[in-house]
Chain A
Amino acid sequence: MAGGQERILRSRIRSVQATKKITRAMELIAASRIVKAQQRVQSAVPYSEMITNVVKDLVAGGSSTESAFLKPREVVKTTCYVAIAADRGLCGGYNAGVLRATEGEVKADVLANKTYAVVPVGRKSENYFKFRGYSLMTPFSGFSDAPKYENAKAIGQYVVDLFLKKEVDRVELVYTRFVSAGTQEVVRRPLIPLEREAVEGGDGKPEGPGSAYEFEPSAEDILGSLLPRYVEARIYAALLNAAASEHAFRQRAMKSATDNAEDLIKGLSRTMNRARQDSITTEIMEIVGGAEALSGANNKTGD
């Protein structure tokens, strides 16, 4: 009877051990991907810095401040939130952080009698809002691990289109910023219209000697095709940050899962050993008892 208990415990330990192997593997994979994702964030920096500089110079130097991208709408009725979360779970509070922040904003908009639009990025984001009955715009997913520039471009073109068609009056990004391997924070950043501070500060003068820029075609036309690229670069940076954060969160979540599995195994082994000891003791008692009974019987017959 006691052996049954032992068998059950043994199989539980085996199953926890198998789970531990999986979580450990996921932890190691995530850890190695953090490094790669961080490098990707780094290598995207030159492009976004340069494009920012060009935009700044154009805005400061050109007469083209009337671009639709730069002027906040007078009445902001609809705000569009681009909620960037993961495609998969098992990454602790990563998805919940972004999604709750977005949902809070949406609820605040509804209370203020405004309309909202949610563009979910990542399957978890899509499912979360779909399940809760929010109206969704086109979802984008399938690339949260290692986003490509094309993905950012697709999202960028979509939201720029929404904005220019006046379906939305402003666009905000909600994502997890990767500060360091130990720190990530959920941030909400305005995307369109571009913030004044983001595009100001340029002196309109090219660096080095020489007069003002020569443009081909006109400064307005360049700005017109530059600003969508700028928006895409911003989205791309956000996607890369989100990917790095996702891996960091997953690594932490899987590390604590592995630690927890170890604790469970330790506890279960103890219980199992005790059960085994119990059953051994019982068996010995039975044998001793049986032997004694036999020898008592032998003694009787021997008389």
Chain B
Amino acid sequence: MASGATMKVEVVSPERVLFSGAATQLITRTESGGEIAFLPGHTSFLGVLTENHTRIFLEDGRVQSVAVHGGFVEASGGHVTLLSDNAELAEDIDVARARAAKERAESLLRGEHEASVAADLRRADARLSATGGLVSK
């Protein structure tokens, strides 16, 4: 990657634009294909996202973490746009609440496997991972 090359990244939820700025790399996770990284000049791409911890590598070397709970990613012509019903920047996440939600979901899952609970768990994991609060297994 040529140093200094950047792309415009936007994270947009229906209620507001969460993040907009230049970045050198973005890592997110699609529903079927696992993690995917976008670098400047990525080919045009349209994908469905799952609950994940998206990392945006900013120009100054910092990493902006975002918990993205499903949505779409569109890459075209130097733009990467994440459209999500529900996304949270790492600094907006209540870690204690996410941890409690994770525990609740895990204890429920020990009984019966239910899709909505599994989704709750994935959301909690995405939040915790975005805040760095998730101990990697």
Could you tell me which A residues sit within 8 Å of B by CB distance?
A: 40, 43-44, 46-48, 50-51, 54, 57-58, 148-149, 152-153, 206-217, 219, 221-222, 225-226, 229, 232-233, 236
With known contacts A206-B44, A215-B47, A51–B77 Cβ distance under 8 A: no
| A206 and B48 within 8 A (CB) | no
Q: Is the CB of B77 within 8 A of A208?
A: yes
Closest 7 interchain pairs by CB? A208-B77, A206-B76, A206-B44, A216-B47, A207-B77, A43-B16, A149-B14
Contact of A233 among B14, B16, B17 (CB under 8 A): B14
State whether A216 touches B85 (Cβ < 8 A).
Answer: no
* A41 to B45 Cα, complex, angstroms: 29
A43 to B18 alpha-carbon distance, docked (Å):
10
Q: Does B46 contact A (CB under 8 A)?
A: yes
Check if B33 is an interface residue, CB within 8 A of chain A.
yes
By a CB distance below 8 angstroms, the chain B residues around A43 are 15-17
Is the pair B31, A217 in contact by a Cβ cutoff of 8 Å? Answer: yes
Chain A residues near B64 (CB-CB < 8 A): none
Q: Provide the bound-state CA to CA distance between A149 and B31, in Å.
A: 22
Interface CB pairs A-B, < 8 A, 22: A46-B10, A46-B17, A47-B83, A50-B74, A51-B83, A54-B46, A148-B15, A149-B14, A152-B14, A153-B85, A206-B77, A211-B43, A214-B44, A214-B46, A215-B46, A216-B33, A216-B47, A216-B48, A217-B48, A222-B48, A226-B72, A236-B14
Please state if A58 and B83 are interface contacts (CB–CB under 8 Å).
no
Residues in chain B near residue A57, CB distance under 8 A? 46
Q: Which B residues lie within 8 Å of A216 (CB)?
A: 30, 32-33, 36, 45-48
**Secondary structure call for the A interface:** helix
How many CB-defined contacts (below 8 Å) exist between A and B?
Answer: 94
| Contact indicator B48/A221 (Cβ below 8 Å) | yes
In the assembled complex, the Cα of A31 lies from the Cα of B103 at a distance in Å of 44
**B32 contacts across to A, CB distance below 8 A:** 216-217
In whole angstroms, what is the CA distance A40 to B13 when docked? Answer: 12
Q: Output the least CB separation between B66 and chain A (Å).
A: 15
Question: Contact between B43 and A210 (Cβ–Cβ < 8 Å)?
Answer: yes
- Report the bound CA distance from A217 to B45 in whole Å: 11
Tell me the complex Cα distance, A138–B109, Å: 31
Contact, CB under 8 Å: A50 / B81: yes
Number of B interface residues, CB 8 Å?
Answer: 28
- Bound complex: CA of A213 vs CA of B75, how far in Å? 9
Query: A48, B14: Cβ atoms under 8 Å?
Result: yes
Query: Can you name the residue of chain B whose Cβ is closest to the Cβ of A221?
Result: B48
Option from B14, B33, B45 in Cβ contact (under 8 Å) with A47: B14
From B10, B15, B16, B72, contact of A222 by CB (8 A): B72
Name the A residues within 8 Å of B12 (CB-CB). 46-47, 50
Check B76–A222 contact: CB distance below 8 A: no
**Which chain A residues border B72 with CB–CB below 8 Å?**
51, 54, 222, 226, 229
A212 to B44, Cβ gap below 8 A? yes
As a 0/1 sequence over residues 75 to 101 of chain B, the CB contacts with chain A under 8 angstroms (1 = contact) are 011110101011000000000000000
Contacts of A212 in B (CB 8 A): 44
Residues of A within 8 A of B48 (CB): 216-217, 221-222, 225
Shortest distance between the CB of B82 and any CB in chain A (Å): 10
Q: Do A222 and B47 have beta carbons less than 8 Å apart?
A: yes
Q: Which of A47, A207, A215, A217 contacts B76 (CB 8 A)?
A: A207
Complex Cα spacing A46 to B48, Å = 19
Chain A residues with Cβ below 8 Å from B45 are: 213-216
Contact B77 A40 (CB under 8 A): no
On chain B, the residues within 8 Å of A233 by CB distance are 14
